[in-house]
């Protein structure tokens, strides 16, 4: 059964974070750090995974990702 992962990356060099979701964390992490040739995460390499949550359903993961991108979600993580 496929699992879905909500993750938060952190760039210490630039003091930036990035929240996303995927069904393959290892490949997505490689993409953010090495493979992408355009996009937001390219500018702030290197990234470190600082938070991971697993979900059985894609809808649950998307809901959590969306929440973490809100002001309330960011405050929760900062505290």
- Residue spans of the domains in the chain: they are 4-78
pTM of this structure: 0.92
**How confident is the model at residue 49, as a pLDDT?**
96
* Cβ proximity of 60 and 16 under 8 Å: no
Q: For residue range 26-68, what is the model confidence (pLDDT) as tens digits?
A: 999 999 999 999 999 999 999 999 999 999 999 999 999 999 9
Nearest to 29 by CA among 12, 52, 13: 52
Provide CATH code, domain 4-78.
Answer: 3.40.1440.10
Q: Please compute the mean of the pLDDT values over residues 69-79 and round it to a whole number.
A: 87
> Please, what sign has the CA dihedral across residues 71, 79, 20, 35?
positive
């Amino acid at each position: 059964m496929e699992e879905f992962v909500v993750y938060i990356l952190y760039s210490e060099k630039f003091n930036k974070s990035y929240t996303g979701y995927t069904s393959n964390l290892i490949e997505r992490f490689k993409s953010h750090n090495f493979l992408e040739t355009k996009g937001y995460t390219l500018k702030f390499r290197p990234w470190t995974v600082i938070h991971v949550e697993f979900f059985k359903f894609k809808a649950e993961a998307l809901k959590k990702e969306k929440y973490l991108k809100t002001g309330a979600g960011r405050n929760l993580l900062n505290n």
